[in-house]
Structure 1
């Protein structure tokens, strides 16, 4: 289901139904219709929005992007076969020592990483003034 959902979101984005990082109501209608037909299940817009939040959270997309893409840590690479971000153990240990939350990222698989990157990377802050919500809350 997740694979079909992600592919459907990409199709809607390509077709211009995602504006300013948000899917339009028509995009959700199209996704509901496509998934309901292809998977023989009943879906609603609310169900898809909740699933989207779950995908981002469960696969730690934001944390992975912030840590590996946004901050450009060298030596780390995505392995599509294992579906993990990999690097030498000593480099992982250094990262884990500095950011204990990275422990979960070492062993938690993420399917469709490149597709999720395509969908969500532009939603992430970048540049000298970027910060995650957690960092902003700590600062405030």
Structure 2
């Protein structure tokens, strides 16, 4: 039982690290220093940008 709890804890910690990393990428995209051209569409609930901006980002 203890082994399962420890394994679950490690998996949760790993997942939290992944979520924090992914959130940091999105936050920087919208609000960070290199955010020019990106925005948030409240109606569609998604990141929006002109094609030129996306192409230069990718």
Higher normalized contact order (CA 8 Å, seq sep 6+, divided by chain length): 1
Could you tell me the TM-score, scaled by structure 2's length?
A: 0.48
